[in-house]
Structure 1
Amino acid sequence: MQVIDWDLAVATGTRLVRPGPQVSREEAREAVAELRRLSRVAEGHVREFTRIDGGVAPQPATIVDRPGWIRANVDGFRVILEPLTERARRSNMPAIVEAVGSRITGVEVGAVLAFMASRVLGQYELFLPPDPTGKAPTGRLTLVAPNIVHAERELRVDPHDFRLWVCLHEETHRVQFTGVPWLREYVRSQMTDFLLASDVDLSTLLERLRAATDVVADVIRGGNGNLIDVIQSPRQKEILDRLTAVMTLVEGHGDYVMDAVGPSVVPSVAEIRAKFQRRRQGGSRMDQLVRRLLGIDLKMRQYAEGSAFVRTVVDRVGIDGFNAVWTSPETLPTQAEIARPELWLNRVHGYGGLPGAN
């Protein structure tokens, strides 16, 4: 059985997604070629600065358009949700409920992906369909060319500098997950536990739907709620705290590296950062509403909080001292430690007596 009609999700997403910026065929070819080249340039800068090297030769970045990003994410979702799908196969759900439910969720997933597909600049895809030959890489760096071109035009910044700046952030994620052997499996296991901790009986589902309605009304009135918070079981919230902490770390680390390396290789980095930050915080009233409902504003806060954590730790113990976070799951910071880096420094490095430490 299918929990989500994936084909319908792809069809819905590619139908609803807005077209990219108008470019000539030659401009498109040049943008794709430069992004591929700059991803390799950025990879060298990132490995040198972070001092993380897994000894794996990186593959060239995959350059996609908006529909291509949607298809790639559906492939990743299939992998991530396989444990939940397998559990559903063993259930006794009536066929009509299964058919209707999978199509409804397929449309919903497609609509969300269409919204996101015009905004994402790039990502490191952690979860790919298994390769029967065993030769394909386990992850893939993807850059969304139309969105990068649209952003650089909208911000009126130097295209070469902006593209390299974006590549620095995304390559940091590739270096993290290829250079820290246990990190990918840790994230995967936490996501699997999160999915399997769901309690989706009918009464619970109805209760959460009512709560979701309240959240939508609250956000429209200017509140800070989001739908993610109201569809979780208590066990899932506990797991999500750990997932949020590690993703805040990797996103903040990406932002920190992007800005630390930037001044030496991206001449206009200060202008780009200032304009991009204003862009992150802007958007129409409807755009801001959807971002809050989907928890996207939470991701924006992760960049800032994670970057502040990394900056504080590097200032205290240097980049090698910071890299202790990658030793094992036990050395990852908790959410409380990200908010108060001195707690992590005290626990991992024995920095007793730091201001604010207990």
Structure 2
Amino acid sequence: MVDWDLAVSLGSRIAGEGPTVTRADAAAAVAELRAGAERSTGLVRDFTGLVAADRTAPVLVVDRRGWIQANADSFATILGPVIEKLGAKKGPPSGLALAIGSRVTGAEVGGLLGFLAGKVLGQFDPFFDPHGRLLLVAPNIVHVERELGADPSDFRLWVCLHEETHRVQFTAVPWMRDHLFSEMQAIAETLEPSGLLDDGLGRITEALKNRGGSLFDAIGTPEQKEIVDRVTGVMSLLEGHADVVMDGVGPSVIPSVEAIRSRFNERRKGIGPLDRILRRVLGLDAKMAQYRDGAAFVRGVVDKVGMAEFNAVWDNPGHLPSKAEIADPAAWVSRVL
């Protein structure tokens, strides 16, 4: 139902190759990112108390096309239950409908991946067997460090600290992957083919008009939004925790960390009008809120009970914060501790 080869091809054309660098500079950046990821493992472990075996998940330094291919593979895994559910409800499409439909959806996915591929610095992919993989997007890291006027070595280690924290989260907490995948399956259980197809343009228009909402806000049912609220709580925790680690470890190993954080926060607000519109429609504004709100939650709990007690959040899915608790750390402390 999705032409993944078309998605990768189109996305790669949209994304472009990134900044121009010499072969020597490219090799140096790759080597420094690999070394930064390896160095970050111990730094994250010492700060958080989370123990993940070294090299549990591979670290891949990739270009934009490599990131697109990896995410197409991940999407295919995540969307498997959704596609299966839709097929069971709607029945098998005709050969012509399948051929046309797969190219349409492939183009849509390719456009999304192409837009994101020029912006993502790194990502932990938990759905890559057996233990996930860490992706560091070298051309984007080089582009942003130049744009910010940051010290390259400092900025690369700073990015590695954030992304390595995600690797540690998933490898030290092995149930997290299955929990997120089960939430994806729960969304699939609620999907109705007619609901996806009816009034699509009108709902996209509504998403554009709704300043505080994304495309999913315009099309999600109450049941789906309840699941998304749970996932939002988890993602806010993961992103906020990684930001807290960056800011907690950074001053001891990254001399220019304060300047990097200040300039990077400004960059997160979006560059131009089109960029801001796309961020809103695709839900990336909500993603930025996850960093901010999640970090406030982690700091609120740690300030009250300490990091060791905070780590109860990783014990089991029942200890994960809800979306409401992300905004009220005391409520989580009261319920869990």
Q: State TM-score, norm by structure 2.
A: 0.96
CA-CA distance at 1:348 after TM superposition = 1.3
Greater Cα offset, 48-57 or 162-171: 48-57
Q: Secondary structure of the equivalent of 1:281?
A: coil
Contact 1:198 1:232 in 2 (8 A): no
Confirm or deny that 1:185 pairs with 2:178: yes
State the match for 1:167 in structure 2.
160
Contact 1:61 1:141 in 2 (8 A): yes
Confirm or deny that 1:195 pairs with 2:195: no
Of the three residues 267, 270, 277, the one matched with 1:279 is 267
Alpha-carbon distance in structure 2 between the residues aligned to 1:307 and 1:84: 32
User: Which amino acid counterpart does residue 189 of structure 1 have in structure 2?
Assistant: S
Alpha-carbon distance in structure 1 between the residues aligned to 2:125 and 2:41: 16
Confirm or deny that 1:36 pairs with 2:34: yes
CA-CA distance at 1:56 after TM superposition = 5.4
Bigger helix share: 2
CA-CA distance at 1:212 after TM superposition = 1.8
Alpha-carbon distance in structure 2 between the residues aligned to 1:230 and 1:36: 41
Confirm or deny that 1:253 pairs with 2:241: yes
Q: Secondary structure of the equivalent of 2:321?
A: coil
CA-CA distance at 1:215 after TM superposition = 2.2
User: Which amino acid counterpart does residue 185 of structure 1 have in structure 2?
Assistant: D
User: Which amino acid counterpart does residue 206 of structure 2 have in structure 1?
Assistant: D
User: Which amino acid counterpart does residue 261 of structure 2 have in structure 1?
Assistant: R
Residues 60 and 88 of structure 1, relative CA distance in 2, 3 Å threshold:
closer
User: Which amino acid counterpart does residue 162 of structure 2 have in structure 1?
Assistant: H
Greater Cα offset, 96-105 or 264-273: 96-105
State the match for 2:20 in structure 1.
22
Residues 56 and 192 of structure 1, relative CA distance in 2, 3 Å threshold:
farther
CA-CA distance at 1:346 after TM superposition = 1.0
Of the three residues 78, 85, 103, the one matched with 2:76 is 78
Of the three residues 116, 139, 146, the one matched with 1:146 is 139
Listed one character per residue, the Cα deviations across residues 127-174 of structure 1 (whole Å, up to 9, x for unaligned) are 12x5xxxxxx42000000000000000000111010000000000000
User: Which amino acid counterpart does residue 335 of structure 1 have in structure 2?
Assistant: K
Greater Cα offset, 65-74 or 79-88: 79-88
Residues 204 and 261 of structure 1, relative CA distance in 2, 3 Å threshold:
closer
Q: Secondary structure of the equivalent of 1:20?
A: coil
State the match for 2:114 in structure 1.
114
CA-CA distance at 1:204 after TM superposition = 5.7
Residues 238 and 208 of structure 1, relative CA distance in 2, 3 Å threshold:
farther
Residues 334 and 237 of structure 1, relative CA distance in 2, 3 Å threshold:
same
Greater Cα offset, 94-103 or 146-155: 94-103
Q: How does 1:59-78 map to 2 (within 5 A)?
A: 59-78=57-76
State the match for 1:210 in structure 2.
202
State the match for 1:102 in structure 2.
102
Alpha-carbon distance in structure 1 between the residues aligned to 2:316 and 2:334: 17
Contact 2:131 2:171 in 1 (8 A): no
State the match for 2:251 in structure 1.
263
Q: Secondary structure of the equivalent of 2:306?
A: helix
Confirm or deny that 1:232 pairs with 2:220: yes
Alpha-carbon distance in structure 1 between the residues aligned to 2:113 and 2:241: 25
Alpha-carbon distance in structure 2 between the residues aligned to 1:99 and 1:232: 27
User: Which amino acid counterpart does residue 100 of structure 2 have in structure 1?
Assistant: V
Residues 54 and 282 of structure 1, relative CA distance in 2, 3 Å threshold:
closer
Listed one character per residue, the Cα deviations across residues 159-216 of structure 1 (whole Å, up to 9, x for unaligned) are 1010000000000000000001211110111112112321122x66213542222222
Contact 1:36 1:60 in 2 (8 A): no
Contact 1:123 1:143 in 2 (8 A): yes
- Aligned pair count reads 335
User: Which amino acid counterpart does residue 34 of structure 1 have in structure 2?
Assistant: E
Contact 2:41 2:54 in 1 (8 A): no
Structure 1 gaps of 5+ residues are 131-136, 350-358
Confirm or deny that 1:9 pairs with 2:1: no
Alpha-carbon distance in structure 1 between the residues aligned to 2:93 and 2:16: 36
Structure 2 gaps of 5+ residues are none
Of the three residues 309, 316, 319, the one matched with 2:297 is 309
Alpha-carbon distance in structure 2 between the residues aligned to 1:146 and 1:272: 18
Q: Post-superposition, which runs of at least 4 consecutive aligned residues in structure 1 deviate over 4 A?
A: none
Alpha-carbon distance in structure 1 between the residues aligned to 2:42 and 2:268: 27
User: Which amino acid counterpart does residue 326 of structure 1 have in structure 2?
Assistant: W
CA-CA distance at 1:89 after TM superposition = 4.5
Alpha-carbon RMSD across the aligned residues, in angstroms, is: 1.5
Alpha-carbon distance in structure 2 between the residues aligned to 1:148 and 1:139: 21
Identity of aligned residues (%): 52
Q: State TM-score, norm by structure 1.
A: 0.90
State the match for 1:355 in structure 2.
none
Listed one character per residue, the Cα deviations across residues 11-70 of structure 1 (whole Å, up to 9, x for unaligned) are 111122133111000000000011001100011100111111144543452000011110
State the match for 1:58 in structure 2.
56
